[in-house]
Structure 1
Amino acid sequence: MKQNFTVRHGALDGVEAFLSVAQHRSFRRAAAELGVTPSAISQAVRALESRVGAVLFIRTTRSVGLTEAGERFLARARPAFEELIAASGAARELGQKPAGLLRLTVPRSVVPILLEPLIASFCRAFPEIEVELAASEELVDLAAEGFDAGIRMGQFIDPDMVAVRLTKPFPFVVVGSPDYFARRGRPRRLDDLREHACLRLRRSNGALAPWSLNDNGRSVEIAVSGSFIGHDFPTLVGAAVEGVGLAQVPAPLVTFAVKAKQLVRVLDPFAPMTPGVFLYYPGQRQIMPKLRAFIDYVKSHSGAAR
């Protein structure tokens, strides 16, 4: 049988007064400690006794003592009340200074190119904040999954979220290895993709993502074909470097590979622009100091255009 753990409204009223009287064995000294009148303490204790259904104190003109019910109540109520005070203090501390666990959901691709240097310097600047990165391509519910914020490309962020820019807009580019192009030639037009092995991305919902391209100002989607399917952009980049096929990926992800001549960009006139990468979080009126510190830090250190 399910038990009811709901605390009745006002059930905690008078507990602090009771504990103070029990400690001092005096209504007057308890009133002085709590900064109220003795009559207020007396009324609070009587109301508590009424709710509990038992007399908690033995009162005489000269002394105050605990009844057996009062002793039992004290034994359970004092440690519980002390825990409540400690819990309030712990919560207040997190609400007043940057500290605690900061949980972020991020795609794998942004970790090496954006977050690794940023997170390292942030951790040094705020040693009392623990940073947890959950690298996943899935678009998770921040509140339901217990995340403070997320990082995604702008087109995937819900409009009810507050977004902070981390990068400038960038194109989605098509790349392949020099070895691949030596074997298969370079595509010059969009129709040429039919003759090429294209690396495909499976989205978190199970669908295969088409390639989005820009054809003379018109956005087009092409269902490409190829024998390799990955679940994230870093995997596609690795396969492209090995000559498996062509990949369409965010340009910043292949900057170093292109400079090192491991990959070559093709079809640049058809590359669509994306809004860039953003930090996003729910639009709450009050933001915990740990998240506010991170937001302010990325704003000043990301180097993105404002």
Structure 2
Amino acid sequence: MKQNFTVRQGALDGVEAFLSVAQHRSFRRAAAELGVTPSAISQAVRALEARVGAALFIRTTRSVGLTEAGERFLLRAKPAFEELVAASEVARDLGQRPAGLLRLTVPRAVVPHLLEQLIASFCQAYPDVEVEIAASADLVDIAAEGFDAGIRLGQFIEADMIAVRLTPSHPLTVVGSPDYLRRRQRPELIDDLRRHACLRMRHSNGSIAPWSFVNGNEAVEVIVSGPFIANDMPTMLGAAVEGLGLAQVPEPIAAGAVKAGKLVHVLEPFAPMAPGVFLYYPSRHQMMPKLRAFIDHVKNRSGATNKIGIDIDDERTRRRRRV
């Protein structure tokens, strides 16, 4: 038997008319309340009774009463209809002003460097919005996982996303602790990394990221080795500070430790430029006021919008070779 996959039409038709007639015990007063003719109310109720398969009202020339089926229908339909109306009002409210829960997926590394002040000022400006930060190195599907937006390094954002720049482009820098560099000869060339302990990053898909460099006009990816693998930047940076080896991280993440003398830059002439950090989201057409308010807040504090593909395509299509 062939299944019917069409959407059922008119499942709630006549329910509001029924509830109004049941409340007033009058088709005429129900029509006045709903702003339609008594004939329209009568037709709606008759259609509802036909779908239900039972008479819901006892009608005489002097009065209108409920049948037993009508009493039972009223008992269940009235609270359900009131919940439906309330749900519509709640959804309408969220669609008209910044309110509700704003869920963001972000890398752990950017929270102290970028988000703390931004989130604090946004929460003060929009007290009806609750902000939830899911800090993770995983590259999640924001629509499938129920997030309103995400924050990521530009090279990890899909080209069909709309993005707002949060930071300028920055170099990917290799750093090591002074203690580590006292024990090992400082690398001067990319090939010198063969003789060094290199701390590595494992992506959420299980692969270990190569290190990226530029040598003249050529992009180079290097498969490095070392004693430690992490799945987030702060952990890897901490291992570098402790002298476990060299790490390649975005320059802004290492800046504090470098300034404090805990880390030292190496191989600076070969550092490639990364697109920077972006807020990204799927579509302007699906945007709720809470997300629009957050985007406007980001723009006011951080800079202009940009389609992500413009900055990243050149980086992605540059010719690479393995070392």
Provide the TM-score with structure 2 as the length reference: 0.90
Equivalent residue, structure 1, for 2:117? 117
Residues 236 and 265 (structure 1 numbering): CA distance in 2 closer, same or farther, change over 3 Å?
A: same
Paired letter, 1:61: T
Deviation at 1:302?
A: 2.3
The whole-number CA distance in structure 1 between the counterparts of 2:78 and 2:20 is 10
8 Å CA contact 1:59–1:65 kept in 2: the answer is yes
Question: Using the alignment, how far apart are the partners of 1:257 and 1:143 within structure 2?
Answer: 36
The answer to whether the Cα contact below 8 Å between 1:210 and 1:221 also exists between their aligned partners in 2 is yes
SS in 2 for 1:54: coil
In 2, Cα distance between equivalents of 1:203 and 1:245: 19
Does residue 131 (structure 1) correspond to residue 150 (structure 2)? The answer is: no
State the alpha-carbon separation in 1 of the partners of residues 166 and 95 from structure 2.
26
- The yes-or-no answer on 1:214 pairing with 2:214 is yes
Query: Is contact 2:150–2:279 with CA below 8 Å preserved after alignment?
Result: yes
Match of 1:89 in 2: 89
Residue 45 (structure 1) aligns with: 45
Shift of 1:284: 4.5
1:30 corresponds to which letter in structure 2?
Answer: A
Kindly provide the amino acid, as one letter, of the partner of residue 119 in structure 1: I
Secondary structure at the aligned position of 1:208 is classed as coil
3-state SS of 1:144 partner: coil
- Gap change, CA 1:304 and 1:23, over 3 Å in 2: closer
Counterpart code for 1:63: S
Is the 2:20–2:30 Cα contact (8 Å) retained in structure 1? yes
Aligned counterpart, 1:162: 162
Residues 305 and 8 of structure 1: CA distance in aligned 2, closer, same or farther (over 3 Å): closer
Specify whether residues 69 and 304 from structure 1 end up closer, same or farther in structure 2 by C-alpha distance, changes over 3 A only: closer
Query: How do residues 176-215 of structure 1 correspond to structure 2 at under 5 angstroms?
Result: 176-215=176-215
Residue identity in the other structure for 1:294: F
Aligned partner of 1:296: which letter? Answer: D
Alpha-carbon distance, 1:201 to partner: 1.0
Post-superposition offset of 1:236 = 1.2
Corresponding residue for 2:247? 247
Aligned counterparts of 1:255 and 1:78: Cα–Cα separation in 2: 62
Matches within 5 A, 1:7-18: 8-18=8-18
The one-character-per-residue Cα deviations of 1:172-202 (angstroms, maximum 9, x if unpaired) are: 0001111111111311111111111111111
2:21 maps to 21
Q: Which runs of 5+ in 1 are unaligned?
A: none
Name the amino acid aligned to 1:9: Q
Query: AA paired with 2:124?
Result: R
The alpha carbon displacement at 1:8 in A equals 3.3
Structure 1's 15 and 68: CA in aligned 2 closer, same or farther, altered over 3 A? same
Query: 1:253-289: per-residue Cα shift (whole Å, max 9, x none)?
Result: 0111111111111111100001111111112413101
Q: 1:219-259 deviations in whole A, cap 9, x for unaligned?
A: 00111111111111111111111111111000000111111
Cα shift readout 1:80-136 (whole Å, capped 9, x = no counterpart): 100100110111111111111111111111111111111111111111111111111
- SS of residue in 2 equivalent to 1:141: coil
> What SS is found at the alignment partner of 1:130?
strand
DSSP-derived class of the 1:146 partner? coil
Instruction: State the Cα RMSD in Å.
Output: 1.6
Q: What is the percent sequence identity of the aligned residues?
A: 75
Q: Measure how far apart 1:217 and its partner are.
A: 1.6
In the TM superposition, residue 303 of structure 1 has moved relative to its aligned partner by: 5.1
State the AA in 2 paired with 1:166. Answer: L
Name 2:291's counterpart in structure 1: 291
In structure 2, the gaps of 5 or more residues are 307-323
Amino acid in the other structure paired with 1:15: V
Query: Does residue 73 of structure 1 match 2:73?
Result: yes
Distance (whole Å) between structure 2 residues aligned to residue 205 and residue 287 of structure 1: 29
